[in-house]
A and B are shown apart, each in its own frame.
Chain A
Amino acid sequence: MRRAASKTNGVILAGVISAFVVLAIIGVWFLGWFGDAFRGIEKISAESYQESARSFQGGTYQFEGEIESELTYDTSLGRLFAFRLSTPRGQFFLPVLIPEKLARLSLQKGQSYKLKVIGKERGLLVVQMMEKI
């Protein structure tokens, strides 16, 4: 009987382990999906931005771009950069404010980043998050 019990225990154990593994896999997958910060954020239309930047006010957008130049700097607000966006319709340049809290990043011309930005007053794009590509 005891043998039967230990056999049963082993199957259960294997099942539990398997389930655990499966759960682990599922968990990892879920975690991976939900953990993407740019997941679900609308990609910005640079062409539309040039036509009317004010209409981007209040929205959150993402894009990938290369630092073209630093335009200006404000101690309280942060640094205003020009990012070059390469699109099928050509190259566009967007002015993006990188807040002071992200100033620790070592930003240099030519670096490419993936950025999550939010449209502020007068259509100014302010970085919420950025990842180096």
Chain B
Amino acid sequence: MNQLILLLFGTVVISTSYGQLSNANSSGLNSGGFQAQGNLPSLPYSGSNTQLPYGMPEPSSGLDGFLWDGKKFTLGDTRVFNAKFVGYLNEPQEELDEEKSYQEMLHKILDSLDVFRVRSESKSKILQEILPLLQKAMRNPRDSGQCRAIYNSIGSDYHGRDDIAFTQMRLKELRKDVETIRWNMQVNANPSEMDLTWNPGVVSRGHVKISNDQTELEQKLAEMKSLSEHTQTKVVESRIALQRVIASLFLSRHFDHVMLATSIYRFLYSDGAGGIEIEDSIISAASESAKKMRAATSYDRSVKSDNTMGYGQTKGAYSNNIVDQKNTESGIVSILPNMSEVLDKQASLKLAVLGNIPKDMSELESVTQELIDQTNRMMKSVKSLMAQGLYEDAMQRLQEALLPGEHLSALRTFPFEKRQNLWKYLQEKQKILASVSSKDYASAAKKIEEMKEVSKDNPFVKELAEIKNLQGASDMYIAKAKEAASRGDSDGMNKALEEAAKIWPQNPALNETTQQMNKLTQGKDELKKLLHQQNYDYIMKESARFLAVAADDPTLLAELKSVLEKESKAVAFKERITEVLKRGDPAGAWEEAEKSIGEHPGNTDLIKLRSDAAIACTTFVQQIEKAKKAEERKDPAAALSLYLSARSIYPSSSISKEAIERLSKELLQK
């Protein structure tokens, strides 16, 4: 039974966990499996979520859950902490003196209501003891209306009792009247000696009196019956009112007050103490009330998709689709957040909740006492575990204790410093979960290592091993990509990079390799552009880089080599022309420049050198230019004459010499 009651409070966890588990693409740990899909047949599958792609290992949550009704619920869900646990960890602890004095008052009341004392002492005496204590307790800041509710129930009961006392007096009078009427009727039923003759045809005075007494008697008895029923109703109403208060206190987990209220109930209605059953209507009403109270004021069911494209098929390596679906509630006014969600979603669970409220007052008392004891034991365990540095276990125990014992003294007085230590631990843990969820394994591994220094019972040991495996697999694919790249197998390289990215999108080596590949691609584009622009000077300056860039592209490499070869010649030309100019042979320099420009039409350096040389041998250049024009207009004789003139100016002219030989032969051709 107690386990079932605990399960009732466990629904706090269920509600949020259920929401998460029912949503395959939630932002929980397992959602990472949908961010990238790939094939890693060589790796053993370590996750338990069968919805994950085959061969895609996913780190587990690192937190154990529990199975119930064929469903798995994770106790360590972050949303539980967000809703309740985180709030508790950041709440200042209750003032010890205040709590102590409050508890003392409750204990005094309970002592006054001792079951044997209740039997021996008069009710009025006991009431005189407990009512002032209750008044004092309900004024204590620690009390949030529970003692007032109990106090009011007692008051309501006594108002009813006054009414009943008046009724009893009336009943007493009525009984007396009834006795009198009965006597009169007996007297009237016996005829007196004065009535000597009896005439059956005449109604006697005695008969009339009896008839009147009969009527009066019936009236009195009817009134008595009515008053008696009224008294019973009053008693039942008072009882139900107090039962309602007790059920409400139980559902709101004010177990100290449940114990107090059950004792008062036993005191007020001693005839049914220990055996009386709580009305079904009260259980239903209390559950419905709890359901209404627990409704969240707003929900966030937003779905966020993030498509990050990396190095694509043509240019790079990977694409990553991240779907983050939120499933959170806020504005929860209830002490049992999310209960309504569970009730709405699972009718069977609702029935279970309703069916597991104790129906017997003694059972209720017993269960409550067990819960109080369990909570106290758990809190002792929390403190002990924290002292040993076992924060994970301590946090789990505290979480379990918080569910039923939120309002109990043991939790309210749990030191704020210790709460903050657990809060910091929890934050670190959430960071790790977030890193694992986003596949930021490097960061996750680092934080897991750091956590070892905080808590001896690191819950992520298994995850750390899995992360190492994943990192190794991703690196393996990157090595494979590099190897493919060295072979010029761009398809193989891209495929391997894509696989590496699927496993570990934030692998620094992947980023580095991708950048290298990007540079390579950009370098190729740049080289193609420069070749198109005939910007050979820049290509020459960056020849080493461009040779590396074009290494895996035979066509581009051939073109680059050709350009570099030509440009090398151009450089040689420049050097030679400059040298000839220095020697004072401008015509010779001009001729060299003219020849080189023929091979390198766009070379501005050569054009400039030719211009410089032409200034120093204008006549010669003019003759050559004229000769060329004559050749262009198909006038070989004139061209020959002009070349002869040019040669006379510069006898070493190779251009003239070649042209003279060529044109001479042309002219003699038939």
A-side residues, CB < 8 A to B, are: 46, 49-54, 56, 68, 71-72, 74, 77, 80, 82, 84, 91-95, 97, 122-125
Chain B residues, Cβ within 8 Å of A125: 637
Can you pick out 6 interface pairs between chain A and chain B where the beta carbons lie within 8 Å of each other? A46-B641, A50-B630, A71-B664, A72-B664, A95-B641, A97-B668
Number of A-B pairs whose CB atoms are under 8 Å? 68
Chain A residues, Cβ within 8 Å of B637: 49, 53-54, 56, 95, 122-125
Please report the C-alpha to C-alpha distance between residue A110 and residue B660 in the assembled complex, in whole angstroms. Answer: 19
Chain A residues, Cβ within 8 Å of B648: 68, 84, 91, 93
Question: Which of chain B's residues 622-638 have a Cβ closer than 8 Å to chain A?
Answer: 626, 630, 635-638
Partner of B626, one of A49, A50, A84, A123: A50
Chain A residues, Cβ within 8 Å of B636: 53, 122
Please report the C-alpha to C-alpha distance between residue A52 and residue B635 in the assembled complex, in whole angstroms. Answer: 7
Q: Contacts A71-B660, A93-B648 given: A49-B668 contact, CB under 8 Å? A: no
* Residue B13 lies at the interface, judged by CB distance under 8 Å to chain A: no
Please report the C-alpha to C-alpha distance between residue A21 and residue B422 in the assembled complex, in whole angstroms. Answer: 156
Please report the C-alpha to C-alpha distance between residue A41 and residue B665 in the assembled complex, in whole angstroms. Answer: 29
Q: Contacts A54-B637, A124-B637 given: A95-B667 contact, CB under 8 Å? A: yes
Chain B residues, Cβ within 8 Å of A93: 641, 644-645, 648
Chain B residues, Cβ within 8 Å of A71: 640, 660-661, 664
Question: Which of chain B's residues 585-599 have a Cβ closer than 8 Å to chain A?
Answer: none
Please report the C-alpha to C-alpha distance between residue A72 and residue B663 in the assembled complex, in whole angstroms. Answer: 10
- In terms of DSSP, what is the predominant structure of the interface of chain B? helix
Chain A residues, Cβ within 8 Å of B660: 71
A51 touching B638, Cβ below 8 Å: yes
Please report the C-alpha to C-alpha distance between residue A63 and residue B667 in the assembled complex, in whole angstroms. Answer: 20
The 4 A-B residue pairs whose C-beta atoms are closest, nearest first, are: A93-B644, A53-B637, A53-B638, A123-B637
Please report the C-alpha to C-alpha distance between residue A52 and residue B640 in the assembled complex, in whole angstroms. Answer: 11
Please report the C-alpha to C-alpha distance between residue A93 and residue B638 in the assembled complex, in whole angstroms. Answer: 10
Which residue in chain B gives the minimum CB-CB distance to A95?
B640
Partner of A53, one of B626, B635, B644, B645: B635
- Other A-B pairs, 9, CB within 8 Å; known A49-B638, A50-B642, A72-B665: A50-B626, A53-B630, A54-B635, A95-B664, A95-B667, A97-B668, A122-B635, A122-B667, A123-B638
A80 touching B641, Cβ below 8 Å: no
Chain B residues, Cβ within 8 Å of A92: 641, 645
Chain B residues, Cβ within 8 Å of A49: 637-638, 641
Q: Mark B602-638, 1 if CB is under 8 A from A, else 0.
A: 0000000000000000000000001000100001111
Chain B residues, Cβ within 8 Å of A123: 635, 637-638
Chain A residues, Cβ within 8 Å of B645: 50, 91-93
Chain B residues, Cβ within 8 Å of A56: 637
- Chain B nearest CB from A78 CB (Å) reads 9
Chain A residues, Cβ within 8 Å of B665: 72
Chain B residues, Cβ within 8 Å of A72: 661, 664-665, 668
- Chain A nearest CB from B440 CB (Å) reads 84
Chain B residues, Cβ within 8 Å of A68: 644, 648
- Chain B nearest CB from A99 CB (Å) reads 11
- Chain A nearest CB from B666 CB (Å) reads 8
Please report the C-alpha to C-alpha distance between residue A68 and residue B667 in the assembled complex, in whole angstroms. Answer: 18
Q: Contacts A54-B635, A71-B660 given: A124-B641 contact, CB under 8 Å? A: no
Chain A residues, Cβ within 8 Å of B644: 68, 82, 93-95
Which residue in chain B gives the minimum CB-CB distance to A123?
B637
Please report the C-alpha to C-alpha distance between residue A123 and residue B640 in the assembled complex, in whole angstroms. Answer: 11
Question: Which of chain B's residues 650-666 have a Cβ closer than 8 Å to chain A?
Answer: 660-661, 664-665
- Chain A nearest CB from B270 CB (Å) reads 146
Partner of A77, one of B641, B642, B661, B668: B668
